[in-house]
């Protein structure tokens, strides 16, 4: 991108929202009863508070580097592709955001790869979120 360009970067709106975690502005971006599904979870994470807790844990030091490489918006869906380093290893994936008719986030889907990173990431989230969310959400090797 040329210097001084004002073109949007892939994922910039999503990154800006996640950085507002813990604020009223973050909560107001969601529809009633939003859900988050991910390849690192055994089930659905439901509700703004649970989603916020999960996102804060996963973005709070687990990623060494994260770069959004592509973004496509089609109707109510935003498709993001990304790559980076997490827990000292290469990771990549996709995030799908679905908005309701009012433009509020109704569903978040986050998919990581490769499989060893999915398992390691899930186990690390289980440690970080012990006592905050149900341990049944995570793929642990216990």
Percent of the chain whose predicted confidence (pLDDT) is above 90: 79
Q: Are 68 and 142 in contact, with CB atoms under 8 Å apart?
A: no
126 found inside a domain: yes
Q: How many CA atoms lie within 13 A of 94 on its CB side?
A: 8
For the full predicted model, state whether its pTM sits above 0.85.
yes
115 found inside a domain: yes
> How many domains is the chain built from?
1
Alpha-carbon span 58 to 82, nearest angstrom: 15
Number of other CB atoms surrounding residue 70 within 10 Å: 11
Residue 79: give the domain boundaries.
12-130
Give 5's DSSP letter.
-
> How high is the pLDDT of residue 140?
65
16-31 CB burial, b ≥16 within 10 A, e <16: ebeeebeeeebeebbb
Mean pLDDT on 92-115: 97
7 found inside a domain: no
H or E element that contains 117 = helix 115-128
Q: Which one is predicted more confidently, 83 or 142? A: 83
> How high is the pLDDT of residue 141?
55
Q: Where do the DSSP E strands lie in the chain?
A: 30-38, 45-46, 63-74, 77-86, 89-99, 105-113
33-85 pLDDT tens trace = 999 999 999 999 999 999 999 999 988 889 999 999 999 999 999 999 999 99
Q: Which CATH number does the domain housing residue 65 bear?
A: 3.10.450.50
4 found inside a domain: no
Give 7's DSSP letter.
P
3 found inside a domain: no
Alpha-carbon span 21 to 42, nearest angstrom: 23
25 found inside a domain: yes
């Amino acid at each position: 991108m040329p210097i001084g360009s004002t073109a949007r970067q892939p994922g910039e709106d999503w990154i800006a929202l996640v950085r507002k975690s813990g604020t009223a502005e973050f909560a107001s971006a969601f529809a009633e009863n939003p859900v988050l599904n991910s390849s690192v979870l055994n089930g659905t994470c439901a509700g703004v508070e649970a989603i916020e807790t999960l996102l804060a844990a996963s973005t709070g030091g687990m990623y060494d580097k994260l770069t959004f490489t592509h973004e496509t918006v089609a109707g109510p869906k935003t498709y993001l592709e990304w790559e980076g380093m997490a827990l000292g290893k290469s990771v990549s994936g996709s995030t799908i955001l679905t908005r309701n008719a009012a433009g509020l986030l109704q569903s978040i889907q986050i998919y990581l790869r490769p499989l060893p990173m999915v398992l390691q990431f899930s186990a690390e989230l289980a440690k970080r979120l012990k006592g905050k969310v149900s341990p049944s959400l995570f793929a642990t090797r216990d």
